[in-house]
Amino acid sequence: MALITKRVYGAEDVLPKDSYKWQFLEDVMRKEANTHGFKEIRTPVFEHTELFKRGVGDTTDVVQKEMYTFDTKGGTSITLRPEGTAGAARALLEHAIYNDGLPVKAYYFVSCYRYEKKQANRYREFHQYGMEVYGTSSPAADAEIITSAATLFERLGLQNLQLELNSIGCPTCRKEYHKALRAYFEQYKDQLCETCLSRLDRNPMRILDCKSSVCSKIAENAPTVLDYLCDDCKEHFQGVKGYLDACGISYVINPKIVRGLDYYTRTVFEFVTTQLGAQGTVCGGGRYDGLIEEIGGQHTPSLGFALGMERLLALMEAQGIEIPKPSGCDLYIAGLGEQAQKKAFAIIREIRQASLNAEGDIVGRSLRAQMKYADKIGAKFSMVLGDDEITNNKAVLKNMETGDKIDVPLDENFFQGFFSAYVEADQAKLLQKMDM
């Protein structure tokens, strides 16, 4: 029988055999966030469209070309979130989280949605991990965000990631830079793509981020923003670099980084690799001091970063980094007959209550099929319960790897016998590793 449908183009399934990889990453990220004093925030998967138009910027590719936007039955325009920052900022304002004290430190795991061509490690539904700080203009905060990302990559064992750093200034110095950009790109109006022509007057910096080969070539010789920074922005950028230098975090200055969203100001950065083809950015972020004001709040200097989970997993695979698999089944109990099945069921529940993994038959398999299944799921031990075992109040515990067997009672001393065998097996493995 044919499937009535398959997954939507650009979306991927995470199957049970692979979900442990995601869980491992999430655990490492949560621990790293906690060491920096961050707490998790969870926001809805959709927001009012105006939030993204105002927050992300209506001159960006995200807003102009990529958002999934629809009207509700009540006529309200709703958009599936294309990124995580705007929703977090909205939640900060709506719930007055800033009253808890500044700075506010939050991290998130979100699914995001952008309508774009499917490419390697780039999807229409994708997942991001992000860290956000609200309520500080100190360059130390910029350095903390950057070093937290760097430390995360170190913990995961990633190699050959390059930190690229830039400052795109504040609204004051950016006005002069925009004038210079317009004057430069005016010379090439007949060659720019239609999208970049529309950006020329409204936000010429967006041209620097155009993916068109023609526009990218023209942009190579455009004026650089670092030549137009005001004194305050220069001082801030020097401060960020000073903190990174103090930590021994290496970086390169890349004046072409502008990031793809309009809310960025001053510091912008990316961690890039050459091992993922054209999509080399693994993590990107920076400062967005005007975002809270743009969506209706008071001036609240803010900053953060986000990274794509799919892309990070692809890079770990490319570098041969093995993610540890979770422990499998500790004990499989095969029950023969109704009475034995119920006894097995009760023992399994008690073992699970001790935080160990126990399995039994819930399908109706024969003994032979049950033992094949126990082997397939990698059970460390197995035990067969039948009428004789119930009568004698004793069963045989088998080490599935070595074949060793011991008798264990089926009374209150069962756990002592099982745990002794369990510990002995693990010690034997440890000694074996030490001898190698």
Q: 262-292 pLDDT, tens per residue?
A: 788 999 999 999 888 777 899 999 999 999 9
Query: What is the per-residue pLDDT across 392-421, written as a single tens digit (0 to 9) for each?
Result: 999 999 999 899 999 999 888 787 878 787
Task: Specify the pairing of strand 77-80 against strand 46-48.
Answer: antiparallel
* Cβ(117)–Cβ(98) below 8 Å: no
Give the sheet arrangement for strand 358-360, strand by strand: 358-360, 331-335, 381-385, 394-399, 405-409
Domain 331-430: CATH architecture, name and number where available = 3-Layer(aba) Sandwich (3.40)
Residue the block writes with tokens 């067997």: 405
Query: What is the per-residue pLDDT across 329-347, written as a single tens digit (0 to 9) for each?
Result: 999 999 999 999 999 999 9
Confidence at residue 212, expressed as pLDDT on a 0 to 100 scale: 87
- For the chain, how big is the Rg over CA atoms in Å? 28
Confidence at residue 160, expressed as pLDDT on a 0 to 100 scale: 92
Tokens encoding 402: 């070595």
Query: What is the per-residue pLDDT across 228-262, written as a single tens digit (0 to 9) for each?
Result: 999 999 999 999 999 999 999 999 999 988 886 77
- Does residue 5 have a pLDDT over 60? yes
Alpha-carbon span 237 to 165, nearest angstrom: 10
Confidence at residue 58, expressed as pLDDT on a 0 to 100 scale: 77
CATH of 19-165+266-318, picked from 3.40.220.10, 3.40.50.1220, 3.40.640.10, 3.30.930.10, is: 3.30.930.10
Convert 200-232 to b/e letters by CB count within 10 Å (16 or more is b): beebbbbbbbbebeebeebbeebbebbebbeee
**pTM of the entire structure?**
0.87
* Cβ(241)–Cβ(63) below 8 Å: no
Question: Where are the chain's structural domains?
Answer: 19-165+266-318, 331-430
Confidence at residue 63, expressed as pLDDT on a 0 to 100 scale: 86
Q: What does the angle CA 227 – CA 146 – CA 110 come to, to the nearest 5 degrees?
A: 115
Task: Answer with the residue of higher pLDDT: 57 or 135.
Answer: 135
Tokens encoding 19: 């979900």
Convert 59-73 to b/e letters by CB count within 10 Å (16 or more is b): bbbbbeeebbeeeee
* Cβ(261)–Cβ(62) below 8 Å: yes
| DSSP notation for 299-337 | ---EEEEEEEHHHHHHHHHHTTPPPPPPP--SEEEEE-S
Confidence at residue 203, expressed as pLDDT on a 0 to 100 scale: 85
Alpha-carbon span 156 to 282, nearest angstrom: 13
User: In this structure, how many other beta carbons lie within 10 angstroms of the beta carbon of residue 255?
Assistant: 17
Q: Which residues have CB under 8 Å from 332's CB, separation 6+?
A: 358, 359, 360, 370, 373, 374, 377, 379, 381, 382, 383
- Does residue 433 have a pLDDT over 80? no
Query: What is the per-residue pLDDT across 47-70, written as a single tens digit (0 to 9) for each?
Result: 999 999 998 887 777 888 899 999
Q: Do domains 19-165+266-318 and 331-430 have the same CATH topology?
A: no
What is residue 147's three-state secondary structure? helix
